[in-house]
Chains A and B, each alone.
Chain A
Amino acid sequence: MYFKGFKTKVNFCNRKRVAMACAFAALFYLVESTVLWAAEEAAEGAAQAKLDPLAWKSDLALWTAVVFLLVLFVLGKFAFGPIVKALDQREKNEIDRLESVERANADAKALLEEYRHKLSDSEAEVRQIILDAQKDAAKQAEAIVADAKKAAADEKERALKDIQNASDSALQELAVKSADIATELAGKILKERIDASKHSQLIEEAVQKITQK
């Protein structure tokens, strides 16, 4: 089956292929015979023109040597020499530039790292400041409250003292007045029986009794 199919395919293309093969063969024959003929003709022509590539021509050799030496000298001095220097310089510049870029890159990285550290340090610092401030504020608040309490207590104590003093002085005044009144009453009652010294003694005793009470 395979062979049959293959054969059919070959038959299908056969005409084209045979035509192409014939064309190639003809072309090849034509080219080959032409080249052979050309070679013969060239050899004859070359012989006729006395063309010998290996023939030594001293004039041309000398001329070539002079021209080439001039080329070497002039271009070496004004073109190729300076170009080599320029290329070297450019290479050096490139290397320097690369190195400086690498250095700048390293510096930038170091700087970045430093700033990152600084940033994290400042964050910690800020947190500490806030904590300290909170602590201070709490302490201050406690102190204010304590002061206020103390001031209130002092005030209260002072007020109590004042009240006590006022009460004492009122009592004393009351005792004096009561004694005076009593003395006056007793004097009126005991008028004539008690002299002046006895009188004042009685008053003092009366006052003491009152104050003790």
Chain B
Amino acid sequence: MSGELVNMGELVEHVSDTSSYHLPQFLGHFDLPAIGGLTLTKGMVVEVFAAVMMAALFIPLAVKMASGKPVRGRFWNLLEVFLTYLRNEVIIPSIGKKEADRFTPFLWSLFFFVLFCNLAGLLPWFGSSPTGSLATTAVLAVSVFVVLLFAGMKKFGVVGFWLGQVPKVDLPFMLSVTLKPMLFVIEVIGLFIKHVVLAIRLLANMFAGHLVIAVIMGFIPALAAGSVFLWGGVTVVSVLVCVCLYMLEIFVAFLQAYIFVFLASIYIGMAQHQH
């Protein structure tokens, strides 16, 4: 049993953000270097990979679109469909036509950064989704919060923005004096909690998905010491289930990126149009 647990622990370690790549056994492990006091991890490499991929895809697309004519080619059209869908169906309805374009580049960056980080985590040996770590999702949620705060305060002024958090309700003076400060506190706490949940939701989904795949693959080494027939059967079933879960994970990668940006758009929209 202890041997099995060592296998399981090592396997689970594959989905965590470590500083070494666990390549197939004959290739051994590849340790990432440390830059100054900073030890590089797989997640950091994935983030750089995501950034480079985004630049490699969208800068040429921008050049192609600059002429004002529709882009040609299935691939470029596919990319454009992502962008226009997010802009027309998510960002503009949430924020409003007038203000939407100020936030569109930020929300596009957010979507593709999260998406590529999610997807890169599924690449064998290479991947470890940085979005399965609180540090990454928290930074992204904080970036949404900062954008929302600055944009809201720019539009309504510092005092106007914070006072606007209290919903406008017609109350008698005495009730208003007591209830409104309470409402203010609840709304401000709600504002923070929304962003914390934004970070946790993405983190939990990505972490859980990878862990489930790791565990189901873990059945194979766990049963290696037992009967050959049981091991063979479990291996086949585990691989098949993992293939299905992998497909589900690809879907979840898109879905969570979409949900993250969808909620971020709604929060920014709410800060731009106070109740």
Interface residues of A (CB under 8 A from B): 34, 38-39, 41-42, 44-46, 48-49, 51, 53-65, 67-68, 70-72, 74-76, 78-84, 86-90, 93
Contact = CB atoms under 8 A, between A and B. Distances in A.
Interface in B1-36: 4-6, 8-13, 15-17
A89 B58 CA distance: 18
Given A49-B13, A68-B139, A83 B215 contact: no
Given A53-B132, A56-B134, A82-B65, A48 B216 contact: no
Contacts of A49: 9-10, 12-13, 16
Nearest to A42: B215
B54 A63 contact: no
Contacts, number: 168
B84 A87 contact: yes
B158 interface: no
B158 to A, nearest CB: 24
A57 B41 CA distance: 11
A86 B68 contact: yes
Nearest to B79: A83
B176 interface: no
Contacts of A76: 105-106, 109
A46 B12 contact: yes
Nearest to A83: B62
B8 A93 contact: no
Interface stretch (B44-52, B164-172, B252-260): B44-52
For chain B, give the interface size range: 35 or more
Contacts of B55: 71, 74-75, 78-79
B58 A42 contact: no
Most buried by B among A42, A44, A67, A90: A67
A72 B133 contact: no
A56 to B, nearest CB: 6
Contact of B215 (A41, A67, A75, A90): A41
A198 B23 CA distance: 181
A60 B13 contact: no
A38 B218 contact: yes
A195 to B, nearest CB: 140
B101 to A, nearest CB: 5
Secondary structure at the B interface, as helix, strand, loop or mixed, is helix
B54 A71 contact: yes
Contacts of B44: 59-60, 63, 67
Interface in B80-103: 83-84, 87, 101
B16 to A, nearest CB: 5
B139 A64 contact: yes
Interface string B175-194: 00000000000000000000
Contact of B101 (A56, A64, A84): A84
Given A61-B139, A68-B143, A45 B108 contact: no
A94 B204 CA distance: 43
Contacts of A42: 8, 12, 211, 214-215, 218
A67 B16 contact: no
A60 B66 contact: no
Nearest to B43: A60
B145 interface: no
B269 interface: no
B207 A53 contact: yes
Contacts of B109: 68, 71-72, 75-76, 80
B105 A57 contact: no
B140 interface: yes
B161 interface: no
B274 to A, nearest CB: 25
Interface in B209-241: 211, 214-216, 218-219, 222
B77 interface: no
A80 B105 contact: yes
20 contacts: A48-B9, A48-B12, A53-B134, A53-B207, A59-B38, A59-B39, A60-B17, A61-B135, A61-B139, A64-B130, A64-B136, A71-B55, A75-B59, A79-B58, A79-B59, A81-B105, A82-B65, A83-B58, A83-B61, A86-B66
